[in-house]
Structure 1
Amino acid sequence: MKKITLLLFVFCATHVFSQDMKTLKSSAKKDAQAACDATIKEDFKTLLTYTHPNILNAAGGADVMEEYLKTTFSQMKAGGFAYEIAETKSVSNIVKEQGEYRCYVENYNVMKMSGKRIISTSYMLGFYNETAKKWTFVEAKEMKDTGSIIAYFPDFKTSLKIPENTMEMTEIKE
């Protein structure tokens, strides 16, 4: 009887864990897409709610970062830059390391600028805030040893093998 009880417990625990991982993965995709949608709409207040707090703190707060994004996007638009597509394609497996859930998400972006179309695949590293039940993200390539933001994450280590970004540029023929 003890063996049967143990087997049932293990089965139930595994099933619940599996369901939790599916839920986390689904919420990571939903939150990453919300960040993409906010980027397209230039809704920087919303976008910054999906930005990891370490980045906001390093920038001097959400208000400072929002003004920076407004200025940057305004300058880019003046130069002919426009987003056409920003969408989340997939989410990696969720891992729990250093006391938090993490994943990476694959984003597909299409932009145009100066008569060229830029098609890119980029990756964001996601961190799950269990209290807020929300994912926040950072640009994954910047979390590598040579990245510009890794310094804002002391003792950061991950087992996730994040792919390299890709980019292709073509002439727009209209």
Structure 2
Amino acid sequence: MLKTQLSTILFVLLLSFTAKGQIESNIINAAHAYARAQINSDVEAILNFTHPGLIEQAGGREEMKKTWQKIYDNQQSKGIRLQEFRVKEPIQHTRSSGEIHALVPVVTTSKVPGGQLITETNLIAVSEEGNDRWYFLETTSIDERNVTKVLEKWDGSLILPFKKAPVFKEDKK
């Protein structure tokens, strides 16, 4: 009897760790696809990773597309180009009202006039439980006070890290 209970407990723990690993693997794969879209300024692909709540707040898909395009055009006109978008670990995640929320630490490197700008930040990854589709929110303008305006089901169990100032590396002459 004790052996059966112990086996059952070990099996449940194994399933739990496997599910956790699968979620993190799915997030990382989606984050890499999001990174490629960002580096290539692929607005259509970025829209597919943009949280529906943000699209709705922007006035719909076409309005959000215009917003993303303006951002890229503005950056290009200023000589700013994203060079690298690297996903770091560990990824923290939680379940909240039928959604999975995760904090995904990333490091971006942008070419700017006179050098490079290296930024450590976090993305919030969101998926409905049982769904492999992930949406990402940049945390540059999101904090604990306003996160629920975008993510209604955010329960606060994940703490948004403090924002770090970007680091400028001057080009060598």
The normalised TM-score by structure 2 is 0.88
Report the CA distance between 1:17 and its aligned residue.
1.2
Give the structure 2 partner of residue 139 of structure 1.
138
Shift of 1:146: 4.2
| Cross-structure match for 2:120 | 121
What is the TM-score with the length of structure 1 in the denominator?
0.87
- Which structure 2 residue ranges, 5 or more long, are not aligned? none
Instruction: Decide whether the 8 Å contact of 1:28 with 1:91 is kept in 2.
Output: no
Please name the residue that 2:54 is paired with: 55
Q: How many residues align?
A: 172
Residue matched to 1:160: 158
Compute the displacement of 1:95 (Å).
1.7
Amino acid at match of 2:53: N
**CA–CA separation in structure 1 for the residues paired with 2:127 and 2:37:** 19
Query: What SS class does the counterpart of residue 110 from structure 1 fall into?
Result: strand
Cα distance in 2, alignment partners of residues 130 and 96 from structure 1: 8
**Which amino acid letter does the alignment assign opposite residue 104 of structure 1?**
L
Cα distance in structure 1, aligned partners of 2:92 and 2:153: 22
Matched with 2:86 is 87
What CA RMSD, in Å, does the superposition of the two structures yield over aligned residues? 2.0
Q: Which amino acid aligns with 1:164?
A: F
Secondary structure at the residue paired with 2:134? strand
Q: Classify the secondary structure of the residue corresponding to 2:25.
A: helix
Cα deviation code 1:19-75 (max 9, x no counterpart): 010010011111111111100001111112112111111112222211211122112
- Partners of 1:158 and 1:130 lie apart in 2 by 18
Residue pair 1:83, 1:111 contacting (<8 A) in 2 also: yes
Give the deviation of 1:91 after TM superposition. Answer: 4.0
The aligned amino acid for 1:5 is: T
Matched, 1:112 2:111: yes
Structure 2 CA distance for aligned equivalents of residues 89 and 114 of structure 1? 26
1:78 and 1:142 mapped to 2: Cα distance?
22
SS at match of 1:109: strand
1:75 match? 74
Change (3 A) 1:9 1:141: farther
Q: Which amino acid aligns with 1:47?
A: I
Determine if contact 2:39/2:82 at 8 Å carries over to the other structure: yes
Partner of 1:98: 97
1:69 partner amino acid: W
Find the counterpart in structure 1 of residue 7 from structure 2: 8
State the SS of the aligned residue for 1:18: helix
- Output the CA distance in 1 between the equivalents of 2:163 and 2:62: 29
